[in-house]
Structure 1
Amino acid sequence: MKSLLKEWLGKGPAPAQLISFNHHDILTGALFTTQVHHLWQRLNDTPAKRWLLSSESSDLFAIGLCAGLLAGKELVLPPNTQSGTLQGLAAHIDGVLSDVELPLTGTENADKPWIMLKKELSQPKAPWPDVSASGSLTLYTSGSSGDAKPVHKTLSQLDAEVSTLEATFAAALPHCSVLATVSHQHIYGLLFKILWPLAASRPFLSEQIEYPETLSYYTALLPNLCLISSPAQLSRLPDALENERQLHSPSLVFSSGGPLSEEAAHGIQKVYGSLPIEVYGSTETGGIGWRRQASASEPWQAFPGIEIASAGDGALLLRSPYLEQPDKQMRCEDKIAIDDNGRFVLQGRLDRIVKIEEKRLSLVQMEALLERHPLVSRAALVLLTEPRTQLGAVVELSAEGKAWLATNGKLALNNQLKAHLLSEFERVTLPRRWRYPDELPLNQQGKRVHQTLIELFTHD
């Protein structure tokens, strides 16, 4: 299989290649090349090896990404820019690439080099760096212990996945533009919105789509589009489009980050004319399989080169060229059943990692942070599915917390604990429902009784 990404990074874009666009600006290959060259030079002039890379603008992010890879740097992509998250990463970085000031405070960070990402239109024209890209990426995801887990990605791993995506889906994609409702700071958006489009010479929208009206604007404006989205966003889209067949539709719609309901899949088919392509995988594993969900029981097809098996407890056992050790079998905590054709059906999780609005979340990590608050003695989180998927928090208060509740009320306490959680978690992932029993329900072995916790939310 052709090494699509490595070959592109070796020569850079054609001068006339359209890299990115928005409603008022474009970035050509010539300008992109010049900006990558000058940033690459600046990175080469500093011995700092590990650089935090963060920008909401996909074109600036792509410039920093390419320059860092070509300069042989390790680029650290934070899962979010909450102050607690950044402080936790501070010891693991030597410098910062960003287009905005980040809440990375403390004397230990004062001497770290900061390079502001911005479009420099007055720079002298320069060629693509004549080097072999040798950098790497580190992303963070929720580990089973509850701590943020670093996941290292080499250029060879990323190249293998980009090349597979092109080989698998290019026949269904005309020369199109790429739009995304998801962030490029996570593996799905990174691959599908940045790396794959760059390597395949498909321009991408430099902004993240937030509203259906913006999406409809671009589908009407451009004849061929590929939409990169998520289950939460796709499930709301048909209603926003009044469940009517659209005159202009994307050529392909991709969904990843969590399970897409059958109702949502068929809702997208109704408004856009075809079922979305769901991609199953994770930050650690990369893509594992894909499907178009004609029915809820539709099995997944593994990508070429992926080998899957099932452990005794049903856990997925994986061998993949996208792993750091491609020949070693990796156990995943998703339960699967494999059919006679080698396809597989997902049957739920075996650990306490959940997804809220497609953001991977460790219940252990959030519980631990809650229990560090002086008003909290113990805390338990449960995933509620009715009336929609959301977190419920069951909190046993400390003596101080009980007094605080009596004085200030439940709403104020909810907000106090949410503010505490925002130091490490994004607002969209926070618990929506809160319960404050005198004691957490435990069995004789001192274990939490999950069903009893769920029942606390039966009535509001």
Structure 2
Amino acid sequence: MNNLLLNWLQNGPNDHQLISFNHHDIMNSVRFSSQVAYLHQQLTQQDATHWLLSAKRSDLFAAGLCAGLLAGKTIILPPNTQPGTVAELNHHFDAVIADEPISEVKTYVPLTSDITPPQANWPKSQQLGELLLFTSGSSGQPKSITKTVAQLDAEVSTLESTFADRLPHCSIVSTVSHQHIYGLLFKILWPLAAGRPFLSEQIEYPETLNYYLAIMPNLCLVSSPAQLSRLPDALDNQLQHRHPSLIFSSGGPLSFKAANDIQQCYNQLPIEVFGSTETGGIAYRRQRTESQPWQVFDAVKIKQQGEDGALCIQSPYLQDDQQWYTCDDSIELLSDTQFNLLNRLDRIVKIEEKRISMVQMEQLLQSHPLVTDSAVTLLSKPRHMLGAAICLNQEGKALLEQQGKLFINNLMKQHLMTQFERVTLPRRWRYPDTIVQNSEGKRTQADLVSLFYKHD
């Protein structure tokens, strides 16, 4: 199973490999190779070395990704294409390969299915490029993570050796974006390297999933905790006649109830994968019991460190695979290969499986001309969401009095949407005169949370 992705990238798909499909079209290996060769030629003619890559369709994204890596380029994957996010990453890239223009001042190569390039062989590469991904850093600034093809290959090879026997002739469908590491690996790189076709569209509705389950015998569903938690209600919590051959979930722990609700509908428990952009996959589990431990992947070593019980790993997916890397999660260590996950040790939270820096959100709120101070906190009732407490200046207070809270809420949301996607925005808003601090001059979670449950 070693070098699965590296070998595939160097040699290209075999003559009979089906790359992708949707309800009206398929992408075979001949078309895909021609598309990659066409894009590769355009990229190699450009001096630009750092290319931002973005596309809604996974087949176009995959073609751009392969062409860029084979051309020796550094491929930038933005967490989203909100104008503020792109502007913040502007100095990291000097060109764009995407399905629509993103940055007006950059060299642009379009990804489109409207052009049918002439048949061509798979490009040969002297030196493969690398990926640059971004996560929300605890300081509030985007944190860049470099991934070499060798690192990605190590992870793809591990996934195949761990799960291949449960994926007989499967096609891959996904509810998550390929722009993030989980979707990138599970929907694009692993299927390509292992010869499994993937759906070129992202599934957004249960009806779409049911459509593909009805017409295709073996489907592997790649999803997230938030999406899987909502799915049973959409299926009336009834056992389905057709179900996926395998279900993966990542982006955060799946609740025991949600895991069992999925089992009730699909007659199987999802396989959860725990990891991050920095670390890659660390461990996996199926929640047969409420205290089901996480099983470490064979390639990864773990230990516990410090008074806070931080998880430390040694992994071939890291830039230095000999050094111990300290994660931002505390654990209960059960053995050399198993642990229970306890809690986060930083101010990064997952909202709809998107990693959000509460520090970054606070800094952006405080840049608004009506705001003097702000605090963002995680709320758990009635569901997992963010709350924002904002201190307004005199102009802001006057507007609040004249126009009402909904008007100010919408102003703040519009401001946040320059860098954050709508689904991640705070759902609760408070406008106190001051934000309480304890005797040490710090804000406590308990004090912040109390602001949101005193009144509505």
Amino acid at match of 2:39: L
Distance 2:441 2:361 in 1: 20
Q: CA deviation at 1:341?
A: 5.8
Aligned: 1:317 with 2:312:
yes
1:147-296 to 2 correspondence within 5 Å?
A: 147-296=141-290
Query: Residue 379 of structure 2 contacts residue 386 of structure 2 at CA under 8 Å; is this kept in 1?
Result: yes
Q: CA deviation at 1:14?
A: 1.8
* Corresponding position of 2:52: 52
Aligned: 1:420 with 2:415:
yes
Distance 2:218 2:54 in 1: 29
Distance 1:200 1:341 in 2: 30
Amino acid at match of 1:88: E
Q: CA deviation at 1:132?
A: 4.5
Q: CA deviation at 1:306?
A: 0.3
Distance 1:340 1:118 in 2: 50
Aligned partner of 1:435 among 430, 433, 450: 430
CA deviation vs aligned residue, 1:87-144 (integer Å, no higher than 9, x gap): 1111111100001122x24xxx2xx310001125542211011224511000000112
Amino acid at match of 2:274: Y
Of stretches 275-284 and 35-44 in structure 1, the one that deviates more from structure 2 is 35-44
RMSD: 1.1
Distance 1:22 1:369 in 2: 39
Determine helix, strand or coil for the equivalent of 2:232: helix
Q: CA deviation at 1:294?
A: 1.2
Amino acid at match of 2:309: G
CA deviation vs aligned residue, 1:212-250 (integer Å, no higher than 9, x gap): 000001011100000000000000101101111111111
Distance 1:345 1:354 in 2: 19
* Corresponding position of 1:363: 358
Distance 1:450 1:377 in 2: 20
Distance 1:121 1:71 in 2: 20
Distance 1:382 1:130 in 2: 50
Query: Residue 301 of structure 2 contacts residue 336 of structure 2 at CA under 8 Å; is this kept in 1?
Result: no
Q: CA deviation at 1:342?
A: 3.1
Query: Residue 58 of structure 2 contacts residue 178 of structure 2 at CA under 8 Å; is this kept in 1?
Result: yes
TM-score, structure 1 length as denominator? 0.97
* Corresponding position of 2:70: 70
Query: Residue 76 of structure 1 contacts residue 139 of structure 1 at CA under 8 Å; is this kept in 2?
Result: yes
Could you list the structure 1 runs, at least 4 aligned residues long, displaced by more than 3 angstroms after superposition. none
Q: CA deviation at 1:47?
A: 1.2
CA 122–437 in structure 1, closer or farther in 2 if over 3 Å, else same: closer
Q: In the comparison of the two structures, how many residue pairs are matched?
A: 454
Aligned partner of 2:118 among 121, 124, 137: 124
Amino acid at match of 2:380: T
Query: Residue 35 of structure 1 contacts residue 120 of structure 1 at CA under 8 Å; is this kept in 2?
Result: no
* Corresponding position of 2:372: 377
TM-score, structure 2 length as denominator? 0.98
Q: CA deviation at 1:403?
A: 1.3
* Corresponding position of 1:326: 321
CA deviation vs aligned residue, 1:52-99 (integer Å, no higher than 9, x gap): 000010000000000001000000000000000001111111100001
* Corresponding position of 1:386: 381
Distance 1:85 1:288 in 2: 28
Q: CA deviation at 1:161?
A: 0.3
* Corresponding position of 2:400: 405
Determine helix, strand or coil for the equivalent of 1:431: coil
Distance 1:116 1:187 in 2: 23
Determine helix, strand or coil for the equivalent of 2:89: helix
CA deviation vs aligned residue, 1:4-58 (integer Å, no higher than 9, x gap): 0011111111232110000011100000001101111111111110000000100
Q: Percent identity?
A: 59
Query: Residue 10 of structure 1 contacts residue 133 of structure 1 at CA under 8 Å; is this kept in 2?
Result: no
Amino acid at match of 1:131: S
Distance 1:145 1:456 in 2: 24
Distance 1:141 1:425 in 2: 12
Determine helix, strand or coil for the equivalent of 1:383: strand
